[in-house]
Amino acid sequence: MLDFYDVLEAARHHGEDGDTDDGATHEVGDLQEFATELWSMLTEEQRRAALTSEVVQRIFESGWDEDLAKYDTAFGESVV
């Protein structure tokens, strides 16, 4: 049975084996699809917990810009 890390490894390999010079695009796209699929399976409570986790907070803080301002109040609460 596949596990979470197998999916990450497959995305990495897809990036390395991609038919373009920018294999990272394949890897990132695969990981975005995976994250979107996982997100769709979460309850609202699980989504809130994910958005307020330390790891996600670091991602928001390091990648935050004006284009992301609309996400500042996910679930009616500040996420950063």
Residue 18 has a pLDDT of 59
Instruction: Tell me: do 35 and 52 sit in the same domain.
Output: no
- 76 Cβ contact partners less than 8 Å away, ≥ 6 residues apart: none
Give the pLDDT mean for 20-37: 81
Instruction: Tell me: do 79 and 58 sit in the same domain.
Output: yes
Instruction: Tell me: do 35 and 50 sit in the same domain.
Output: no
Q: Residue 4 is part of which domain span?
A: 1-41
Instruction: Tell me: do 48 and 79 sit in the same domain.
Output: yes
Give the pLDDT mean for 17-37: 78
Give the pLDDT mean for 71-77: 53
Instruction: Tell me: do 49 and 34 sit in the same domain.
Output: no
Instruction: Tell me: do 50 and 78 sit in the same domain.
Output: yes
